[in-house]
Structures are given as C-alpha cells and as structure tokens.
Chains A and B, each alone.
Chain A
Amino acid sequence: MQWWVLFQKELVENSRNMKWVWVPLIMILIAVIDPLTNYYLPQIIEATGGLPDGTQIQLPEYQPSDVVMMSLGQFSTVGVAVIALISMGTIAGERKSGVSELVLVKPVSYGNYITAKWASNALLVLVSFALGMLASWYYINLLFGELSFGALLQVLVFYGLWYLLVVSLSIFYNTIFKIPGLIAFLTIATVGLISIVTSIFSHVLAWSPSRISTYIQQMIITERVPYDLTWAAIVAGIMIVLLLIASVMIFRKKEMAD
C-alpha cells in the first residue's frame, strides 16, 4: 500500500536523524522542569545562599491539578515551538531541496503524501508528549499527591487533540510555502493569535480549542469532563479535518517544480 510506504519512510527518516530520540527527551524535560523546580524551591534558595534572616516566605501547597497545569503551561509555549521546529520542513524541505521532484513524478496520490506526512509527525509529537506527561505524572504522585491514571489518560486525549491541531497547522503552511523558517513562524504566530483572540472574546469563544488546557484543570478538580471541553475537542477535530482537506487541495494545485 502506497500510504504505508510513504508513512514508513517518514518513520525511518525520523529515527535515522535521531528525532525519535531528542523529541521525546525534550518533551520529558518540558514536562518535569516546572513541577521539580517548584517542589525543590526551598532547597534551591538555600543552596544559592538563602534569604536574609527573618524573611518569611510562604510557598503555596500545590494540588495535583496545579502541577498538571505547570506541565501544560510549558507544553503550550515551548512545546508548540518544538512542534513547529520539527515539522517546519517536512514538505517544504523536500520541495526546496528538489527531492520531491523525484517522489511526485511517480504515481503518488497527493492525499496519501500529505496524510502520511501528517500522521508521521503526529505520531512523533503524540508519543513524545505522552512520555513527557507520564514523567510529570510520576513526579506528581511521588511529590505532590495522587492523580489517577484515568485522569492522566484524559489529559493525554484532550491536550493531544490540541497538539494535533498544531501539527495540522504546520502541515497546512507546509503545502503553501517553501521556506521552513517562515512555516515555523506562521505556525507559532497562528497558535498565539488563536489564544489571544480566545482570551479577548472568551465569553463567545467558549469552545475555542485553545481553552482545552483551562478546561483540563476543571476536569481534574471536578473529576468530570466539562461540557465545554467536549465541544472544544469537537471543534478542534473539525478544524484538523478542514486543515487537512485544504492542505491536499492546495497541494494538488501546486506546481511540483519551478
């Protein structure tokens, strides 16, 4: 099957260029850095010279939901940048170098080509994100308090959808532009724009996918999936499908050589 051949090639490429090593590692780092620094803050202050005598500092008692939010906070900034960087050249780079001229002169379906690119990037991102959250979950249970595995799975599913949307945006820009740097910039800028617009018009944009992380906190505290979260997830799903359809349509109209 042609799709599988294209997908497999991406997997092999990403393992030979070590992306399957460093992306999971960086995602784990992103996930645990805030929980650990917050937990060890007193010791860190002590080790760096301490505070003047008599200073009183009150460190908040973190709940597991707060700690999940620390991890997601990093994922929504640094994590998005990492996704943009690893996927910025996935199609654009091949077109720029000219290797796509050899690939696309074979009877390759553009739909297969785009969706295989999307799926391979999505898989790398989701697996790395899941490993990161797993590390975060380990420290939460060790240092802050109990968080059920079921709750972790829910976080993975909902936040994973948001990440899939970021990957889809990057693929979309990949079909339009040939400059990887520009694609990374536009992906990050679009994600930022969605967040800003959502926070300005939060009362009407309750189902904006960028609110998924806010609802996740509610979900952990109340131990129920909020109504708005379900809808935000559905909106994210629809946007992903639309972006993919648009990507294939744009790519079909593109000239594969210039």
Chain B
Amino acid sequence: MSLLSANGLTKIYDHHTAVNDVSFQFGAGKCIALIGPNGAGKTTTLRMLSGLIKPTSGTIHYAAKKKNADIRGLIGYLPQHPVFFKWMSGKEFLMYAGRLAHLSKEEAHKRSEQLLDRVGLSDAANKKIGKYSGGMKQRLGIAQALIHQPKLLMLDEPVSSLDPIGRREILTLLEELKQEITVLFSTHILSDADEVSDELLLLHEGSIVESGSMSDLREKYQTAKIELGFEGDLIPYREKINSLDSVTNVCLDRSVLHVTVHDIDTARDAILAAASTERWPITSFSVSRTSLEDMFMKAVNN
C-alpha cells in the first residue's frame, strides 16, 4: 500500500506550466529524493503535496488520511527558505507550531524539548530566532516539521543554502530520520540525493523524466568508462582506441580521453596491450562508473 499517490498533477501559472502531468507514488518508510535543476517544478510539486497551493488538475491521495481529516496533520513541511517569527525563541516557536497542530500544552512542551535535543538546539532553546545562524534555522525548521509526529516529512532543498558543516549536519540528521519516518526531499545537488535516498524522482521542465530506486537507475544508465591521460598530442590515439574491441565511443577533453566501453575487462586488456606494444606515453589510466550527473543528463536527453 502506498503512503502517497499523486495522479496527473499539473500546475499552470498564467501562461507558464510549472508542473505538467506528474504522477508517482511511494510507500511508507522510504526516503525519496526529488531531483531536478532549478525551475524544474520541485518546489511547486512539494507545495501542492503539502496543501499550500492547489493543483490546476490532478489528484493527491494520502492512504493514512481519514475521511474529512486535514491532510496537513499528516505532513511535516519545511520550505526552501523558512522564515520564523524573529521575536520568538526557538522553543517558543516549536511550542507554537505544536499547539497549532492540536497538541496539548504538556505534549507540545515535551515534544519541543525532545526535538530541540534531537536537532542539537538545546543550548539555543531560549535564544531569539533572529539571532540564529542559517544552519540553526534549518535545524529548527526540521524540528517544527516533526513536532506533531507526521507520517511524511517533506523538505524543500534542505541543504542547498548551507555551508559544508551545516550540510553535513542536516544530511546526518536525515540519515537518522529516514529510519523512523517517510522522507521526501528535493535537491539539485545530486550527490546529496545519492547519499541518503532510496528512490529518485527526476524532474525536468515540470515533468518526471525518470524514477526508480537508486540501484535500478544505476543498472539502467550505468556504463563503464575509462579515462586515459597522455603526454603530448593525443589525437593520433583517438582513432586507434576507437577501433579496439568493446569500445563504443571516445571523446576528447583537454588532455584526457574518455573511452566509453561495453565490457570493462575486454576493453582494458585491449587498451593495455596496445599501449605496451606501441609504447604509448600514458600518464594516467583510470576506470570509472557513470555518476549521477551523467545519469541525469542522459535521462533528460532521452
């Protein structure tokens, strides 16, 4: 049973289609990354799922939603640039958020203390939010999203605006959180998605161009690549390598030849054999797998 299913979600602003006929579903307990370049429709999609904006057409179905219940009670949401009341302290804001989600005063108090501890803000609990750093605000944002124990945590670009330390903190927190709750987060930094998510939704110009689990996508788009560095002119070697067994494509990039191959073992043997008999001036030789970036570019171009 899927936790959330979206069918034909579309959002049209005046003459611009931000999200176009997007359908997907995912089960509970997963960590899903919504990937795409800026302007792909990630924020619009998350806002529709959170109920902040209404889809022009399409439906969203939450399995856990009871009849007539407010879906916002099931969701914890962190916008891309969370803005708080500067005059409140971190703890006051958590209490406020909790009470708005119908927690009793005692529950809200208890949850606030727990979450402040959890996100490492206990020491700053009574400090005014106006004095928080970017990373602290992001952590407070995650805490307020979790205050009412939602079924689904949605985070819009949770790490994009942070410095490396802040990024690391949030990614570690996500890593822990995904053990307990379904997480859907958007990002344009592919390595972050690679690091924490189980499933990917690739969004491009408002449409989903690819989706699936990390390993499925790897299998589908993975091709091996050999990178060769040469001393001096490498143009003559380009043709030679292209005619070797199992090589599908060779392209030139400054002083490195990128060789795409079918079978890594055959190609490696062939190249090394040719290199030793003809005494090629090789400076470097490395085997690499296609990165998420390459995968993304391929999916977009298809």
Contacts and interface: CB of A to CB of B under 8 A. Distances in A.
Interface of A: 2, 5-6, 9, 13, 16-17, 97-99, 101-108, 255-258
Given A98-B81, A105-B72, 12 more contacts: A2-B100, A5-B96, A5-B99, A6-B100, A9-B85, A98-B83, A101-B82, A105-B75, A107-B72, A255-B54, A256-B52, A257-B52
Contact of B52 (A6, A13, A101): A101
B101 A106 contact: yes
B187 interface: no
Interface in B19-76: 47, 50-54, 70, 72-73, 75
B81 A2 contact: no
Nearest to A258: B53
Interface residues of B, number: 27
Given A13-B87, A16-B87, A99-B84, A105 B52 contact: yes
B83 A106 contact: no
Contacts of B82: 98, 101-102
Given A13-B85, A99-B84, A105 B54 contact: no
B100 A106 contact: yes
Contact of B96 (A9, A104, A256): A9
13 contacts: A5-B96, A98-B82, A102-B97, A103-B100, A105-B51, A105-B79, A106-B100, A106-B148, A107-B70, A107-B100, A108-B100, A257-B79, A258-B53
Nearest to A108: B100
Interface in B95-145: 96-97, 99-102, 141, 144
Given A105-B72, A256-B53, A99 B102 contact: no
B102 A2 contact: yes
A101 B79 contact: yes
**Most chain B C-beta atoms within 10 Å of own C-beta, residue among A101, A106, A256:** A106
B185 interface: no
A207 B133 CA distance: 56
B53 A257 contact: yes
B156 to A, nearest CB: 10
Closest CB pairs A-B (n = 4): A98-B83, A107-B70, A106-B100, A5-B99
A255 B53 contact: yes
Contacts of B296: none
Interface in B263-297: none
A97 B82 CA distance: 10
Contacts of A258: 53
A119 to B, nearest CB: 16
B84 to A, nearest CB: 6
Contacts of B97: 102-103, 106
A107 B101 contact: yes
B185 to A, nearest CB: 15
Contacts of A257: 47, 52-53, 79
**Most chain B C-beta atoms within 10 Å of own C-beta, residue among A2, A105, A108:** A105
B102 A107 contact: yes
B52 A5 contact: no
Nearest to A102: B82
B227 to A, nearest CB: 45
